Amino acid sequence: MTVRPGERRLALVTGASRGLGEEIASFLALEGFDLVVTARGEPSLQAAASRFRSHGGSVEAVAGDVTDPRHRAEVRALVERRGRLDLLINNASELGPSPLPRLEAAPLPALERVLAVNVIAPLALVQELLSCLSAAHGSVVNISSDAALAGYPSWGMYGSSKAALDLLGLTLAHELEDRGVSVVTVDPGDLRTSMHQAAFPGTDISDRPLPSVTLPFWAWLLHQDPKLVSGRRFRAQSDRWELPV
């Protein structure tokens, strides 16, 4: 990320009102980023934005659904005022019905919704914000899941969407190299969040760590050469993260 003296970096975080998205946005604010944050719930998003502002930076919060072109246009307008975007965190995700259905009984309209949020919307945001990302030699981080790789029973809707997102990110990493934009995929691991609770209704998930467990990874990633991490898939809860020698 290329920053001129006195210029503040700008990050866009989707799904920033709670859970992992809120943790990442708060961390970025502490690291000196100005923020554009979005989520579906207006009250919870505005409350989170107030917490982010306490770290001293500028925070623009706009509530809406990332699958809605009108909402994405609002977000794009906020970013274009700055003329640059250093970091896009595609965190907003859709789990699907709870309890999770087996694929043989998966409701197809619900699958369309999962794919719209988890695959189409992240690509749409990259397309709409590409000029600002390119101007900053910025980075895109797509939040994935181990469900993309494992084929867990009943996780097929969500897992297939994240597998598609993985390949989308890898392809974009190759395609956008000449634009100076890097693309990284991150599996945050099991976390104690409302989405994870929805995947296990009636089950105590207090043994899962809070999203703050991923903070060492974000601190590491932020200080890597974007060219070296682009196209890579990282597990945030690993003991260490390595780059090609």
Contact indicator for 200, 158 with CB cutoff of 8 Å: no
DSSP, collapsed to helix, strand or coil, labels residue 61 as strand
Q: Give me the sheet containing 10-14, strands edge to edge.
A: 59-63, 34-39, 10-14, 87-90, 139-143, 182-187, 233-235
Specify whether 230 is catalytic.
Answer: no
Contact indicator for 227, 243 with CB cutoff of 8 Å: no
Instruction: Point out the catalytic residue in the list 26, 158, 160, 161.
Output: 158
Place of tokens 């409701």: 107
Contact indicator for 208, 20 with CB cutoff of 8 Å: no
Bridge partners of 87, per DSSP, are 11, 139
Instruction: Point out the catalytic residue in the list 145, 162, 182, 230.
Output: 162
The Cα 25–Cα 218 span in angstroms is: 11
Specify whether 162 is catalytic.
Answer: yes
The Cα 1–Cα 221 span in angstroms is: 12
Instruction: Point out the catalytic residue in the list 26, 93, 139, 144.
Output: 144
Q: CA Rg, the chain, in Å?
A: 17
The Cα 42–Cα 182 span in angstroms is: 31
**Nearest-5° Cα angle at 24, 32 to 235:** 125
Specify whether 144 is catalytic.
Answer: yes
Q: Which residues contact 121 (CB under 8 A, 6 or more apart)?
A: 14, 66, 67, 72, 90, 92
Catalytic positions: 144, 158, 162
